[in-house]
Amino acid sequence: MKRHRERSSLTKEEGEEHEQIRLVHTPDLPVTIVKMNDFSAAKDQANFVMKHNNSFCNTATDMSNEYLEKASPPNPRKIYADCILRASESQKSSIKSSMRCKCTPLEWFLTLFPIFSWLPKYNWRTDLSFDLVAGTTICVMHIPQGMAYALLGNLQPIIGIYMAFFPIIVYSFMGTSRHVSMGTFAVVCLMTGKVATERMASYAAVQLKLNDSALLSELYLTDDETTPGSPYTSEQIATVISFSVGIWQILMGTLRLGSLSVLLSAELVSGFTTGAAVHVLTSQIRNLLGLSLPRRNGLFKIPLTYVDIMWNFGNINVTAVLFSVFTISSLVIFNEVLKPIAARKIPFPIPIELFTIIIGTLVSKYWITSKEYGFPIVNHIPTGLPTPSLPPIEILPDVIVDSFVIALVAFVISVSMAKIFAIKHNYQINPNQELIANGTSNFVGSLFMCAPISASLSRSLIQEQVGGKSQIAGLFSCSLIVIVLLWIGPFFETLPHCVLSAMIVVALKGMFLQFLDLPKAYNESLLNAVVWVAAFIATVLLDIEYGLGVGLIFSICTLIFTSNKPHINVLGTYADSNVYVDASMTQAKEIPGIKIVKYTGSLNFATIELFVEKLQLIIPPTEPKRKKGANNLGGIIVSTISKEKINDNVSIDDNLCDFHPAMVQLQESISWIILDFSSVSSIDPAGVKALKSLTKTYLKKDIQLIFVGCAPSLFQVMERCELLSQAGIEHFFSTVHDAVTFCCVPNFEQINNNANQAMSPDSINIDCVTTNVPYQVIQNSIFEKIPNNT
C-alpha cells in the first residue's frame, strides 16, 4: 500500500500551543471536514479509528512528529474467521474422538461400576448410620408396596418381593444416583400387566384355534390371573418383558442415547402419569368393592370398566368394602394428621403401611376369614429364593415393541428423579450409565422371575428424607428382604386383596396432585398445557400406550410449531452507544444506511421461507440504486445550510473557507444489511442456499449482506455449501459493532487512492475539541496538516 505522505503527514513545531489537522475527503465522497485545533484530540480520534476500523489491513497506529506512521496489526476479521474454522475442525475431531474409547481398563471398570469409585471415600463413621436407618425404612416399604404393585401387574404378590431384592443389588453397584429407590412402580407394573394379559389371551386364541372375535373377547374378559388355554402364565410373560426391557436399555446406554429422555417433556410425563394413575385407580375398584369384573383391554378401557361396575354394583362384597374403607381411612388420617405431628418427635418415619398389612393379615386369619365372607386373599407364598432360569425367549418377538415403550417410560421416570436428587445434593449423574444400570438390573432380574423395575417416587423421597447417603441403604434393604423371602413370607398368605388395593389407592395421591401442574403449565405456555391435556385425555380415554404416543406427537408438533415461528427484529443503537437493542425501544435508533436484522431460531427447510419473506418485508430487494460513491460512507450526503443552523459548538474558521458550512446528513437508502445470527442454533443446506440467493439479489441493488456471530457449526455448513467463497470472508464478523464499524468506514486503500484527486472545494473547519462529530465521519477521513499561518 502506498503511503501518501503529502496528504497524511503531520508535523508539530516546537513552541506551538495548538496544531491544526484537517480531515480531507475526496470529491467522490461528498463530505469534506475539518480542522482540529488540539493535537491530543486528533491523536485520540486517530486511535479510535485504528481501534475500531476492522477493514484496515494496514492502519495508522502511531502518530509521530513527522507523519502518521502506518503499521500492520493483525486483521480482526481474519482472526475471527480463523478461530471459527479452527473451532469447526475441532468440532469434527471431537466427534471422531468421542467414538473412540481412550480410557484405560481400570477407568472403564470404574465407570461401569461406580460403587468402587466412591466406596473408598465413603465416610463409614458418619454416613453408615444414616444408610442403615434408610435401608430399614425402605425395606419396610418394599414389602407392602411390592405385594400391592405385583397384584397391579396381574402377578403373584411374591414377585414384588423378588423385585425388591435381585435388581436392587445390581443397581447398587452400577447406578450413579445415591438416593433413588428402585423396585416396583405403579405405572410400569400396570403397563407390564396389560401386555401380559393381552399376550395370554392371544396365545390362548392360537392354542385353541379360536378365530371368532366373540370368543377372543371372552378370553380378554376373564378375571383370572391365568387365561385358560394359554401355554404361558403372566409371570413368564412378565419375565420376558423384563428381559426385553433390559436389552433395550443396555443397547440405548451403549449407544449413548441417555439424552433420549428429552423427547419426553415434563408436561408430557406429568399428563401421561396422571392419566396412568386413573388406570391404576380404576383397576383397583374391583378389589375395593369385592367385585368379580371382566378385564377390559384396548380402546376406551376406562369408560367400559365403569360401565361394568355400574352393572355389577349390586354384587359388591360388604366385608371387602369395610376392609377398604377402614384401610383407606386409617392411612389418610395418619398421613395427613398424625404423621406431621410424629415427624417432629420421632427421628424416623413410622411404617404405617407395614402395620396395616400385618393388622389386615391377622384380622383375616383369626377373625373375619375369607372362606366365611368370600373376599379374595393372597394365598400361597413360597419361601426361599427362586432358581435362576432363562425366560421363554421364544415369545420375545411378540413383546419387543411393547417392551421398548416400557423401557423408555421406566428410564424417563428414573432419570427424572435421579436428576432432582443430584441437583439438590450437588452431585452428578450419568444418564448413559443409568441406562446401562437399569438395563442390567432388568436383565438380571428376568432370570429370577422379576418384572421390569423403575424408581419409586414415594420410596425415593422417604430414603432421602430419613438421611440416606448412598446406595449402601439399598444393599442393607436387600439384606433384610432376604429374611422375608426365607422365613416371613408365608405369614402374609391370608392378607386380603382389598387391603393391598386400598394401599395402592392412597399411594396415588402424589400422582393425582400432578393435576396442579396443568395451571402452572398454562401460565408458562399455552402449548405446554395443550401437551399435558392431550397426553392425559388420550391416556384415560384410549389406553396407556396410545396416550404416550399422542402426547409425544403433540410434543413434537409443538416443537415444530415453535421452531417455524422464529423471531426476527430490527436492531438499533441504544442512546448512541455500542449497545444494540430492538429498534422499537425508547432511546434506540437505527443507523442510517444500515439495517441490522437479528434472527432467533434455526434456519432450515421449514423456516427459511418465513425468514426470507420477513427480511424482504423489512428491506425490499427492489431498492433503487444509489448515486456513485454512496457506498463508501454508507449513504452519507451533504446539504448546504446557513451558519445560524450550525451547532453553536462548531467553530468556523473563515480564513479557510468563504462558503456556507456543510452539515452531514444520512441518506435513507440502505447500503448494508447486517444479519445477526448469534441466536441461530442451526442451519441446513436449504438455509445456506437461500442466503446465497439473497446475497446475489441484494448485491444487484448495491446492497451488501454482512453475517455476524455465526457459531462454528453454522460456519462449517456455510463453508461446505460455498457461502463463504461467494460472500467473502470479509463479510463475517464476531460482533454487531464490528460489522457496523466496517460498514461505516470505506476501504482504506480506496480512500488513499481517492486522496490523490483534488479536494472538494466544499470544506469547512470544525473544532473537534468542542464538537460531537459523528464517528462515522471522523473514521472516513484522512489527516492533513494545516499550516499555522492559516
Q: Which pLDDT value is given to residue 629? A: 46
What is d(CA 467, CA 632) in angstroms, rounded to the nearest whole number?
71
What is d(CA 635, CA 744) in angstroms, rounded to the nearest whole number?
9
Q: What mean pLDDT value characterizes the chain? A: 76
Which among 541, 540, 688 has a CA at the least distance from the CA of 605? 688
φ/ψ of residue 579, rounded to 5: -95, 130
Residue scoring higher pLDDT (255 or 761): 255
Lowest model confidence (mean pLDDT) among 362-376, 447-461, 735-749: 735-749
What is d(CA 177, CA 430) in angstroms, rounded to the nearest whole number?
9
Q: Which CATH architecture has domain 567-772?
A: 2-Layer Sandwich (3.30)
DSSP output for 439-496: HHHHHHHHTTTPPP-EE-HHHHHHHHHTT--STHHHHHHHHHHHHIIIIIGGGGGG-B
* Residue carrying C-alpha cell 448546504: 640
Q: Tens of pLDDT along 673-694?
A: 999 998 888 898 999 999 999 9
Q: Tens of pLDDT along 360-371?
A: 999 999 998 888
Q: What is the DSSP letter of 391?
A: -
Residue scoring higher pLDDT (4 or 552): 552
Q: Tens of pLDDT along 88-120?
A: 565 555 555 555 556 788 888 988 999 999 999
Lowest model confidence (mean pLDDT) among 21-35, 313-327, 754-768: 21-35
Q: Tens of pLDDT along 168-177?
A: 999 999 999 9
Confidence of residue 274 (pLDDT cuts 50, 70, 90): very high
Residue scoring higher pLDDT (242 or 369): 242
Q: Which pLDDT value is given to residue 444? A: 97
Burial class of 368 by CB neighbour count within 10 A (0 to 12, 13 to 18, 19+):
middle
- Mean pLDDT over 436-455 rounds to 96
Q: Which pLDDT value is given to residue 777? A: 36
Which among 144, 178, 644 has a CA at the least distance from the CA of 427? 178
Residue scoring higher pLDDT (28 or 487): 487
Establish how many alpha carbons lie within 13 A of residue 344's alpha carbon, considering only the half-sphere containing its beta carbon.
Answer: 4
Residue 571 scores a pLDDT above 50: yes
Q: Where in the chain is the domain with CATH 3.30.750.24?
A: 567-772
Confidence of residue 451 (pLDDT cuts 50, 70, 90): very high
Q: Which pLDDT value is given to residue 725? A: 83
Q: Which pLDDT value is given to residue 597? A: 92
Q: Tens of pLDDT along 624-664?
A: 555 444 444 433 333 334 334 444 444 444 444 444 444 44
Residue scoring higher pLDDT (699 or 219): 699
Confidence of residue 764 (pLDDT cuts 50, 70, 90): very low
- Mean pLDDT over 524-536 rounds to 92
Confidence of residue 288 (pLDDT cuts 50, 70, 90): very high
Residue 257: strand, helix, or coil: coil
Confidence of residue 397 (pLDDT cuts 50, 70, 90): very high
Contact present, 667 and 630 (Cβ < 8 Å) = yes
pTM: 0.69
Q: Tens of pLDDT along 402-430?
A: 999 999 999 988 998 898 889 888 999 99
Burial 16-52 (b: 16+ CB within 10 A, else e): eeebbbbbbbbebbbbbbbbbbbbebbbebbeebbeb
Q: Which pLDDT value is given to residue 729? A: 82
Which among 242, 197, 240, 188 has a CA at the least distance from the CA of 220? 197
Q: Which pLDDT value is given to residue 38? A: 39
Contact present, 197 and 234 (Cβ < 8 Å) = yes
Residue 605 scores a pLDDT above 60: yes
